[in-house]
């Protein structure tokens, strides 16, 4: 059942299930036309509150909410505002930054600079968990008045983690439905910020209704039908069995695992999907 040849080294594709595919087949204008932007915000936040495997402390401090076309939109907006040269990024974060700037100079806890915003993923790709220095990073950013922006794209696929974003330095956080519901084909999410910037590109797109309505309407349909941690609940038992049988080190991300020595990351999509829906 657990064929190690189906592991994908250093590639971590998202998990799908037949329920998501069946709902996709039922999408029609008639059954999504009534949903609004406000519906999307309220349904998304309601599902976050219902999450059984993850808790988030401090989200209530972020009063401004904007729709985003996936977390990539959130990231590119920060790159547009600051340029990658003027953002601090830790090594082993999203590979996109290395692709944009091959000679990127990563920051460390010791080299954090005042006045230069930090962009960090939570969970952190290289650790498949919260960054192991996360509390220290936020404390230093508080002390040095460094603005922190959190890419939480993997959060819906995580489990057994308590997130605390109540530090004053955290200025924005974004999450989307792509990894929760295998919705890379319909990228939609939310950005929470503490302060509203009128000339911010995401704020402008929201103010002038430039986010395609079909994205958030379909997002509402999925949020209404499935909990945000549906995919974690479905696969968690088999994930633990897979790791045990293939001698992998479990992570806190449902679609990925480590080698025992932590030197390699493996995607487990094909194995887990086959365990529920054998071909």
Nearest CA among 247, 161, 159, 106 for reference residue 266? 247
DSSP class of residue 253 equals: B
pLDDT class of 279 with cuts at 50, 70, 90: low
Phi–psi pair at 61, nearest 5 degrees: -80, -10
To the nearest whole percent, how much of the chain has pLDDT over 90? 98
**DSSP letters of 70-118?**
SHHHHHHHHHHHH-GGGSB-BTTS-THHHHH-TT---B-TTT--TTS-E
- pLDDT tier at 32 (50, 70, 90 boundaries)? very high
Q: What is the pLDDT of residue 277?
A: 72
pLDDT in tens, 205-258: 999 999 999 999 999 999 999 999 999 999 999 999 999 999 999 999 999 999
The full set of domain ranges for the chain reads: 4-20+229-276, 35-225
Q: Does 25 score more than 70 pLDDT?
A: yes
Residue whose entry in the numeric block shows the structure tokens 């480590």: 258
Residue 186 clears pLDDT 60, i.e. is over it: yes
CA distances, 133 to each of 59, 105, 137, 144, 215 (Å):
20, 19, 6, 16, 36
What pLDDT sits at residue 278? 63
Residues 6 or more apart whose Cβ sits within 8 Å of residue 278: none
- The whole-number average pLDDT for the span 80-106 is 97
Q: Which fold has domain 35-225?
A: 3.40.640
User: What whole-number distance in Å separates Cα of residue 14 and Cα of residue 189?
Assistant: 16
Determine the 3-state secondary structure of 153 from DSSP.
coil
The average pLDDT across 261-271 equals: 96
Structure tokens, 269: 């999509």
Tell me what pLDDT residue 190 has: 98
Mean pLDDT within 39-48: 98
pLDDT (0 to 100) of residue 34: 98
3-state class of 266 per DSSP?
strand
Give the residue ranges of DSSP H helices in 188-257: 201-207, 213-225, 230-245
CB 59 within 8 A of CB 190: no
**Mean pLDDT over all residues of the chain?**
96
């Amino acid at each position: 059942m657990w064929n190690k040849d189906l592991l994908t080294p250093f590639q971590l594709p998202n998990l799908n299930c037949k329920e998501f595919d069946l709902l996709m087949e039922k999408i029609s204008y008639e059954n999504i036309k009534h949903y609004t932007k406000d519906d999307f915000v309220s349904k998304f936040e309601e599902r976050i509150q219902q999450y059984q495997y993850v808790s988030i402390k401090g989200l209530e401090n972020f009063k401004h909410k904007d729709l985003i076309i996936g977390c990539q939109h959130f990231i590119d907006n920060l790159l547009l505002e600051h340029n990658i040269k003027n953002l601090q990024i830790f090594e082993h974060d999203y590979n996109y930054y290395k692709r944009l700037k091959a000679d990127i100079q990563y920051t460390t806890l010791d080299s954090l600079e005042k006045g230069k915003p930090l962009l960090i993923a939570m969970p952190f790709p290289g650790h498949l968990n919260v960054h192991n220095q996360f509390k220290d990073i936020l404390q230093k950013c508080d002390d040095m008045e460094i603005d922190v922006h959190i890419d939480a794209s993997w959060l819906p696929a995580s489990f057994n983690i308590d997130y605390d974003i109540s530090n004053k330095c955290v200025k924005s956080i974004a999450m989307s439905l792509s990894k929760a519901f295998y919705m890379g084909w319909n990228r939609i999410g939310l950005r929470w910020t503490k302060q509203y910037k009128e000339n911010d590109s995401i704020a402008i797109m929201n103010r002038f209704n430039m986010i395609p309505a079909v994205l958030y309407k379909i997002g509402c349909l999925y949020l209404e039908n499935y909990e945000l941690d549906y995919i974690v609940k479905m696969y968690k038992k088999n994930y633990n069995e897979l790791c045990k049988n293939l001698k992998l080190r479990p992570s806190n991300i449902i679609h990925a695992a480590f080698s025992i020595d932590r030197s390699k990351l493996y995607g487990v999509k094909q194995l887990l999907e086959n365990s529920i829906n054998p071909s």
